[in-house]
Amino acid sequence: MSAEVRTQENRPAARTSLDAHADPAAAPPWWRGAVIYQIYPRSFADSDGDGVGDLPGILAHLDYVAGLGVDAIWIAPFFKSPMADFGYDITDYHAVDPLFGTLADFDRLLAAAHARGLRVIIDQVLSHTSVEHAWFRESRESRDNPRADWYVWADPKPDGTPPNNWLSIFGGPAWTWEPRRHQYYLHNFLDAQPDLNFHNPAVRAAALENVRFWLARGVDGVRLDAINFCFHDRLLRDNPPKPAHERTGRGFSPDNPYAYQYHWHNNTQPENLMFLEELRALLDRYPGSAALGEISSEDSLATMAEYTQPGRLHMGYSFELLTDDYSASHIRATVENLERVLGEGWPCWAISNHDVARVASRWGGAQAGAAQIAQMSALALSLRGSVCVYQGEELGLPEAEVPFEALRDPYGIAFWPNFKGRDGCRTPMPWNDSAQAGFTNGRPWLPIPAVHRRISVARQERDEISVLQRFRRFLTWRRGQPALRWGVVHMLATPEPLLGFTRCLGEEEILVLFNLGAAPGALPLPPGNWTPLPHAGLDAGSLQGREVRLPAYGALFARKVKNP
């Protein structure tokens, strides 16, 4: 049986409830409006007692994931790697790192997920490799070997300094000296992550082959890490300085010199669009597959719109909702700005991931309760687009305090104490309240805080008003609301801290109102005849005549009555 035939047989059958309100022949593709559960394999479940999560651990908990009501899982890198950046530095794109299991383990996981109606998306890290990758080991040996031009090499300035002023996201110059070539190599991330030269057609072909390998194996999609970093400016022009008042953004505080530049030349080059079209052509050979691009540029919303136009990526996400700002005005402006530029593109929202502080702490602070935390996820799940939910978000896990001596993240170690890195959102999943939280029988690779064990999966299963139970109920309810999954969005002018918008699909129009504040709120009902739409998982508002009353951290959904 050929790989391509096997791929089609391995695709999961569609859940009938997904398309209950639509003609199956005309139903949107599975990824539109999908809820994608992000699994960070190091921290999900450890099956062999070495303290690090693995693929068999994910397999053992697939029933839990499917029971949440999500549509797909996204698995962070599990490929062979020296783990300088915990899997985002790859030495073999076709091999599973022994830390996580075997290729046979992945095949079993893929089949089991499909049997449960779950699509499987895997990370693809295309812009760079590990310094230990065979390609780089060959490339660095000389200037005339077969892969001499596979990475970004540049001569020093006459005084021996790097060729330009480009900086690494992890701090310091983006160039490292290689004595064997008497040249510098480019690394937008760690010096252990050299950038590939995508101006070389052979590099692009090799990158596409790495993606094809997994599509042929049966995966349903790829999440493209740092996809706008594939190309660099051929002329190696200096990035211009950025004024102090503009040095903001996800993870790029004034403490990090990366914030001091406009990064116009080291990423997001126009040549990348051609490569995205080549990548899309490959994906189109595997019907039902989809690509989700991670985008971080000087104008991420504009880049996201450009990258998700027809013939390019299916979805894109940026970091506008991964900031500390949980105000209605920020969310409204973000959605309006995106909708204005997106055109036919499709967004994917995320309020948590493995790179930022957990949303319960970032938006809710130290005293966030179940109602507020459940509202955060429900808000993202009500916007137009697909949604990535990071493991533990459904539990309302707060950011973990990891002492310096236990840190593993090189980013946090470099910028301690002002920035503590990413370990606080990567601590192991608490399955129960035992000493190792049901995650491992050994010593976990990061400490598990006591506060996480107190809100473990097992404990929340027994509490009908827990964040977990609220999350499940809301997802179950959302599944039956096609306008929330596929409809257009129109933001309403509402006073802070109230956020309102409508979702429209065909003849159906749903009003969505959230109170992001700690005190009850009220506002006039928008024009039209509305009837409250019973929903689950959130504290519900009510209609009193032409006034909407919302409890603290509450919500109201209402359907417009066309012919009262």
Specify the pLDDT at position 318: 82
H-assigned helices in 446-507: 450-453, 457-461, 467-479, 482-486
Confidence of residue 376 (pLDDT cuts 50, 70, 90): very high
How far, in whole angstroms, is CA 1 from its chain's centroid? 34
C-alpha distances in Å from residue 494, one per residue of 264, 328, 502, 522:
36, 8, 12, 10
pLDDT tens-digit profile of 500-549? 999 999 999 999 999 999 999 999 999 999 999 998 999 999 999 999 99
| pLDDT 10s digits, 38-93 | 999 999 999 999 999 999 999 999 999 999 999 999 999 999 999 999 999 999 99
Residue 301, pLDDT above cutoff 80: yes
Q: Residue 275: which residues within 8 A CB-CB, separation 6 or more? A: 198, 204, 230, 231
Q: How confident is the model at residue 315 (pLDDT cuts 50, 70, 90)?
A: very high
228-245 mean pLDDT = 96
Average pLDDT over residues 101-122: 98
Residue 306 is among the residues annotated as catalytic for this protein: no
CB 374, CB 467: distance < 8 Å: yes
| Domain boundaries 485-560, CATH class | mainly beta
pLDDT in tens, 438-448: 999 999 999 99
Tell me how far apart the alpha carbons of residues 110 and 3 are, in angstroms, rounded to a whole number. Answer: 14
Instruction: Kindly report the backbone phi and psi dihedral angles of residue 154, in degrees, each rounded to the nearest multiple of 5, phi listed first.
Output: -150, 145
**Domain ranges (residues) in the chain:** 3-129+201-232+265-391+463-478, 398-454, 485-560
Say whether pLDDT at 17 is over 70: no
Average pLDDT over residues 9-27: 44
pLDDT of residue 344: 85
Alpha carbons 166 and 236: distance in angstroms, whole number = 9
For the segment 372-401, the average pLDDT, to the nearest whole number, is 97
Catalytic residue among 71, 294, 339, 423: 294
Rounded to whole angstroms, how far apart are CA atoms 162 and 239? 13
β-pair type (498-505, 153-154): unpaired
Which pLDDT does position 255 carry in this prediction? Answer: 80
Evaluate if residue 26 carries a pLDDT over 90.
no
- pLDDT per residue over 404-443, tens digit each? 999 999 989 998 998 889 999 999 999 999 999 999 999 9
Please write the tens of the pLDDT for every residue from 243-272.
Answer: 998 887 555 566 889 999 999 999 999 999
């409006």: which residue's tokens?
A: 33
Of 19-28, 222-231, 449-458, least confident by mean pLDDT is 19-28
Does the pLDDT of residue 564 top 90, yes or no?
A: no
Domains 3-129+201-232+265-391+463-478 and 485-560 share a fold: no
- pLDDT by residue (tens digit) across 316-374? 988 889 999 999 999 999 999 999 999 889 999 999 999 999 999 999 998 899 999 99
Q: What pLDDT sits at residue 11? A: 55
State the pLDDT at residue 2. Answer: 39
To the query of whether residue 225 is one of the catalytic residues in this protein, the response is yes
Q: How confident is the model at residue 111 (pLDDT cuts 50, 70, 90)?
A: very high
Percent of the chain with pLDDT over 70: 94
What is the predicted pLDDT for the residue at 16? Answer: 33
Q: Residue 23 above 90 pLDDT? A: no
With CA atoms as reference, report the closest residue to 189 among 202, 201, 200, 175.
Answer: 175
Residue 158's contacts (CB-CB under 8 Å, 6 or more residues apart) are none
| pTM of the full structure | 0.94
- Reported CATH class of domain 3-129+201-232+265-391+463-478: alpha beta
pLDDT of residue 9: 43
Confidence of residue 22 (pLDDT cuts 50, 70, 90): very low
* DSSP-derived 3-state class of residue 34: coil
- List pLDDT tens digits, range 152-207: 999 999 999 999 999 999 989 999 999 999 999 999 999 999 999 999 999 999 99
The catalytically annotated residue of 46, 54, 123, 225 is 225
pLDDT digits (tens, 9 = 90+) for 31-53: 999 999 999 999 999 999 999 99
Residues 6 or more apart whose CB falls under 8 angstroms from that of 302 comprise 341
pLDDT at residue 418, as a whole number: 86
